[in-house]
Structure formats: C-alpha cells, structure tokens
Amino acid sequence: MVDPALVLQVAAALRHARRILIITGAGLSADSGLPTYRGVGGLYNGQTPDGLPIEVALSGPMLRRDPGLCWKYIAQLGKACLGAQPNAAHYAIAQLQRQKPECWVLTQNIDGYHRAAGSPPERLIEIHGQLAPLYCQSCAAQDPELIEHLDRPLPPLCRECGGVLRPSVVLFEEMLPEQALETLHQEMAKGFDAVLSIGTTASFPYILEPLLRARVCGGFTAEINLTPTDQSARMDVFLAGRAAHVMQELVSHI
C-alpha cells in the first residue's frame, strides 16, 4: 500500500503548483493490459520470430527495405493498443489538466489513451508519435482506417497512389517529430513548478531533461512506479504502486 502521507505531500505540491508537467511511459498503460514494451514497440526481449532483434524489425530502414515484415510488428502494436482502453490513471491525469490550465503531458506512449481519456491535445506532447491516422510515404495522403487495415494483407497500401502507408510513430533509427520537440523545448524554457514521472525509467535524454531542470530550478519532482528506477532516489517523493490506483488517490486530494 502506498504511504498516505507521501500521497498527501505530492497532492499538496501539485495543488500549489501553477505549471505542471506529467511524464508518462509504458507503465501507465500496463493497467490497461498493454505490455510494458522495451523501448518503442519492444515486444520481445531478444530475437523476433523472424530471427531479428526488434530494433531491426521495427525500424525505419526495415520499413523501406521490407515493409511487409516491418508492418507485421507494427500490426501487433496496433492490435494491442486498439484492443484495450484508457484506465483510471489516464482519466485522473485528464481531470488534473482540467483543474490546472497549465498542466502538460509528455508521453512516450503511442496508444492514444491520453486523448481518448480527455487530455487536451494542445497540452499533450506525444514525443513518439501516434498510431493513427496512417499516411502514405509516397504522396502523403492520410488514411484513418488503421483497424480495417490490420485485418487485410500487409503492408497497407494507399488508395490514391498505391504507395505504402505508415503510422506517425517514431520507429527505431528515426528522428523524433520536430513539432513535438519544439513544443517541449518552448514549455521547458518557461519552467515547471512540479514534474511528475509515471511508469517510465526516464532513460531517454529528452525525458530526463525536464526532471533535471525542475530539480536545478527548485521545482518539485515525484515518481510513480511499481519498482524504483535510477531516478527514484533523486526525486522529492517516490510512490511505489500501480499508476491507476495512485493517480486516482492523488487527484482526489487536489
């Protein structure tokens, strides 16, 4: 059970904070039944059934070289995400954003659950992109029918020109979306009074940087995770528990 005193401490810090950043990773969606992927789409802890590391199979170069093979693993991601729904933590975060007009979400997740739960898109930074809609790599036409394509032969093809479709997801060996990075840097430049990390190891530099900046500037930092990470000891508060349970309890005190 999470220490009630620590929950109240975090709730008080968030209540008094004006600018808040909530960083979310795969552990947040674990309560929705999704696997906690290793990296972006790390479905396997080793070789895929095709004898390739997931970092190779689910990469930008593989999508260009063998789109059918790459789409085999994109489809597994898509079916997992479309087969589940936002959990109580996603809804609690959206509620906090309604209460705090300068509360932002920076997510590594591509499942779209923050949007589905009601987080305002204008205060949501999906740093690894999102699964839908698809777009054509040849003519850039959009296609909203992700779920329909998953039941058809892969890779999905563009109705306009016959080119290979893809999601706006950052695959291995690809750059992060420029607009998302620009928004993140603009908001970090304004500073955050509190940063809450949920369900992530915060191992990527662009995820770790907001935490480091908050600490240097005297902001409050807290983490929610089932087990401690490399960053836990440096946080003002570490809450050990499931995101869905902890976030519900936390927001009820704000």
Q: In this predicted model, what pLDDT tens digit does every residue of 60-76 receive, in sequence order?
A: 999 999 999 999 999 98
22 has pLDDT over 90: yes
Question: For strand 142-143 and strand 129-136, is the pairing parallel, antiparallel, or unpaired?
Answer: antiparallel
Separation CA 240–CA 232 (nearest Å) = 10
| Residue 4: burial class (beta carbons within 10 Å; 0-12, 13-18, 19+) | exposed
The confidence score (pLDDT) of residue 47 equals 74
Separation CA 220–CA 165 (nearest Å) = 43
Q: Which of 155, 107, 109 is nearest to 134 (CA)?
A: 155
Answer yes or no: are the C-beta atoms of 207 and 188 closer than 8 Å: no
212 has pLDDT over 50: yes
Which H or E element spans position 74? helix 67-82
The confidence score (pLDDT) of residue 39 equals 39
Domains along the chain with CATH numbers: 1-33+86-128+174-254 (3.40.50.1220), 35-83+134-169 (3.30.1600.10)
pLDDT tens by residue, 31-46: 898 866 543 344 555 6
Which H or E element spans position 130? strand 129-136
The H helix count followed by the E strand count for the chain is 11, 9
Separation CA 61–CA 171 (nearest Å) = 9
The confidence score (pLDDT) of residue 157 equals 97
What is the overall mean pLDDT for the chain? 93
pLDDT tens by residue, 149-167: 999 999 999 999 999 999 9
Higher pLDDT, 1 or 136: 136
87 has pLDDT over 60: yes
- Annotated catalytic residues are 128
The confidence score (pLDDT) of residue 202 equals 86
Q: What is the pTM of this model?
A: 0.93
